[in-house]
């Protein structure tokens, strides 16, 4: 197992376009998290899944954001009608149970121009 | 989750111990203290966690005060590769998802 994988690593898009990111967690990790990180700040929680169920969403997750985790495996994060303020690093993490350590991917860096 | 307070930045000479403090005075009895670090342009990496007792692993030691209101992460022999932002996070208890509240962390610079 090579750890949490995120694709693409970098994405440049024009304002107003839709983008989708993918996260492949470590096998058998039933919990999956999405975070957003802007320059100079720590990562901020967006949402998390337990298996295929999305159990918690942050207030940061506006209506333009949607996340899915079909069949409890990989997850996608879609941003519709991107804005310049969406430019950030989007991080995915997975863990096997509530108290365990979380493993993070390398992130997807989004630039909205 | 309890809020944590960390110094913004610290320096440490290579080969010396790096002691990173964290205050968490509002911690609840069933909340854990976790430490993660983030090296530039990489995702955060787990270091260590503890509840009451001091903990040690191959990366670091975690010293938690008896009243649990503060803790110290110790990197016993810091190397240049330990230069990173270190986050002290308190989670658990009623937090159903155990999502991590990173804050701004401590930027540690290890110098030659």
pLDDT in single tens digits along all 112 residues of chain B? 668 999 999 999 999 999 999 999 999 888 899 999 999 989 999 999 999 999 999 999 999 999 999 999 999 999 999 999 999 999 876 555 778 889 999 999 999 9
Minimum distance, in Å, between the CA of residue B35 and any CA atom of chain A: 10
What pLDDT sits at residue A1?
Answer: 54
| Pairwise CA distance, residues B57 & B64, whole Å | 15
What pLDDT sits at residue B41?
Answer: 86
What pLDDT sits at residue A53?
Answer: 94
What pLDDT sits at residue B96?
Answer: 53
What pLDDT sits at residue B71?
Answer: 97
A103 close contact with B: CB closer than 8 A: yes
What pLDDT sits at residue A97?
Answer: 78
Beta-bridge mates of residue A11: A110
A101 close contact with B: CB closer than 8 A: yes
What pLDDT sits at residue A94?
Answer: 95
DSSP β-ladder status, A19-24 and A5-7: antiparallel
The tokens describing B31, both together, are: 């909340």
What pLDDT sits at residue B29?
Answer: 86
Asked if residues B33 and B88 have their Cβ atoms less than 8 Å apart, the reply is yes
Q: Between A and B, how many residue pairs show a Cβ–Cβ distance under 8 A? A: 59
Q: What residues in chain A have per-residue pLDDT under 50? A: none
What pLDDT sits at residue B30?
Answer: 85
Judge residue B8's burial from the number of C-beta atoms within 10 Å of its C-beta, 0-12 exposed, 13-18 middle, 19 or more buried.
exposed
Asked if residues A4 and A24 have their Cβ atoms less than 8 Å apart, the reply is yes
Beta-bridge mates of residue A9: none
- Residues in B closer than 8 angstroms to A104, CB to CB, are 43-45
User: Residue B44: closest CA among chain A residues belongs to which residue?
Assistant: A104
């Amino acid at each position: 197992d090579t750890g949490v994988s995120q694709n693409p690593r970098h994405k440049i898009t024009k304002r107003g376009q839709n983008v989708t990111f993918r996260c492949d967690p470590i096998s058998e990790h039933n919990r999956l998290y999405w975070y957003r990180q802007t320059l100079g700040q720590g990562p901020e929680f967006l949402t998390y899944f337990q298996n295929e169920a999305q159990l918690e969403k942050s207030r940061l997750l506006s209506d333009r954001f949607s996340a899915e985790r079909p069949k409890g495996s990989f997850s996608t994060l879609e941003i519709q009608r991107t804005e310049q303020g969406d430019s950030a690093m989007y991080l995915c993490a997975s863990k096997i149970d509530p108290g365990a350590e979380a493993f993070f991917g390398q992130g997807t860096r989004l630039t909205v121009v | 989750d309890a809020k944590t307070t960390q110094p913004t930045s610290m320096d440490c000479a290579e080969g010396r111990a790096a002691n990173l403090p964290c205050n968490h005075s509002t911690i609840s009895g069933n909340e854990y203290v976790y430490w993660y670090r983030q090296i530039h342009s990489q995702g955060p990496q787990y270091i260590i966690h503890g509840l009451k007792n001091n903990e040690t692993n191959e990366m670091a030691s975690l010293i938690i005060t008896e009243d649990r209101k503060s803790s110290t992460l110790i990197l016993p022999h810091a190397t240049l590769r330990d230069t990173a932002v270190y986050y002290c996070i308190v989670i658990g208890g009623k937090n159903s998802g155990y999502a991590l509240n990173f804050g701004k962390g401590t930027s540690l610079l290890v110098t030659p």
